[in-house]
Amino acid sequence: MSETETSNSAPKNETPKEVELAPKQKQKRERNSEDSISAAKKSKTEQEQDPDVDLGEGNKDSGVNEPNSGGREMGFKIEADAAEDKGLRHAMEDAWAVLLDASLDFPGKLRCAHFAIYDGHGGRLAAEYAQKHLHTNVLSAGLPRFRKTDESLLQESAAGGWQDGATAVCVWILGKTVFVANIGDAKAVVARSSPAEGLKNGSDEACHLKAIVLTREHKAIYAQERARIQKAGGNVSSNGRLQGRLEVSRAFGDRHFKKVGVVATPDIHSFDLTEREHFIILGCDGLWGVIGPSDAVAFVQKLSKEGLPVSTISRRLVKEAVRERRCKDNCTVIIIMFRHK
């Protein structure tokens, strides 16, 4: 959860220490439009100094879930589940979705799975609204509309007199192609083996997995976001927050900040699944504030090697963050496993 008015502390770093080199990253991004994911476009990132990390730019009451196995498609099986804990917060403001078969919402017969975490701040109404509506706001090509969702959310917010906001990290798997879209500071990390290793013994047990960060954080303190905010008439205070209050620069909702630079325009990343991709971890900033990408990948790989189901692995990752590493924020995790044949 990104705090708004309650915190006066200095802004957090963009990423955990092991991936602090964001100013040096180089990334190619191409889009059909700022609202849609284009299956023909792909973005690439360069490896950072940590050899194991690449940088790309509870209860279940807050989730929408399906059975955590199934989703056979093109030589692999998808298993996924979510876990959450409110940490030391008074309330859980996150929402999430795990839909292993979301193909009915898309035209044609292409198999689609959908996973998302919506990290609310100032309340959970924006997170719940995005959870309910984003996946159904689709283009004719079967791809999401962030702007349409945000516009309708703002109308709902104005009518209801609430001002909540929510960041988002979303994954759609269409056939063998993975699309990742994010606004704000929630992250997606894929565990990938080297080309030489690929699969060993049909699993990830013997592989050395590298953590590839697929998302770029959107915070007011970063130069590109600061320039856009200032152009829109907003101000980034010395504490790195928009108007001295909001840490993130892109989000659903946040009605009173929309006129001063907050947008719901996502960054888009896509890639084709191969035997090198073993699992994806989605997490809100509460997770990534206490555990780095390579540590998270190693943790999940170890439990997977022990034969634990994905539901148990996701719960244990949240427990590790909250109980062992003292995460004080809401903590929500989705783990998406690829079981290659």
Over the stretch 7-58, which tens digit does the pLDDT of each residue have? Answer: 333 334 433 333 322 333 333 333 333 343 433 333 333 223 344 444 443 3
Phi, psi of 133 (to 5 degrees): -110, -25
- Mean pLDDT computed over 210-218: 97
pLDDT-derived band at 101 (thresholds 50, 70, 90) equals confident
Look at residue 137 in the predicted model and tell me its pLDDT.
Answer: 73
Give the three-class secondary structure for 39: coil
Nearest alpha-carbon partner for 284 in 142, 183, 136: 183
Phi, psi of 293 (to 5 degrees): -55, -45
pLDDT-derived band at 272 (thresholds 50, 70, 90) equals very high
pTM exceeding the 0.85 threshold for the entire prediction: no
Give the three-class secondary structure for 256: helix
Helices 293-305, 310-319: crossing angle, 10 deg rounding: 140
**Cross-strand pairs, 212:** 54, 190
Q: At which residue do the structure tokens 């998270």 appear?
A: 296
pLDDT of 328 above 50: yes
Highest mean pLDDT among 41-50, 63-72, 270-279: 270-279
Residue 227 DSSP label: H
Look at residue 102 in the predicted model and tell me its pLDDT.
Answer: 81
Q: How many CB atoms lie within 10 A of CB 31?
A: 15
Nearest alpha-carbon partner for 74 in 270, 269, 281, 275: 275
- The CATH number of 61-217+249-340 is 3.60.40.10
Domain coordinates in residue numbering, the chain: 61-217+249-340
Higher pLDDT, 68 or 29: 68
Signed CA dihedral, 127, 80, 331, 145: sign only: negative
pLDDT of 129-171, one tens digit each? 999 999 877 544 455 689 889 999 999 999 999 999 999 999 9
CB 295 within 8 A of CB 60: no
pLDDT of 2 above 70: no
Using the CB atoms, write b or e for 257-272: b if 16+ within 10 Å: bbebbbbbbbbbbbbe
Look at residue 106 in the predicted model and tell me its pLDDT.
Answer: 55
pLDDT-derived band at 256 (thresholds 50, 70, 90) equals very high
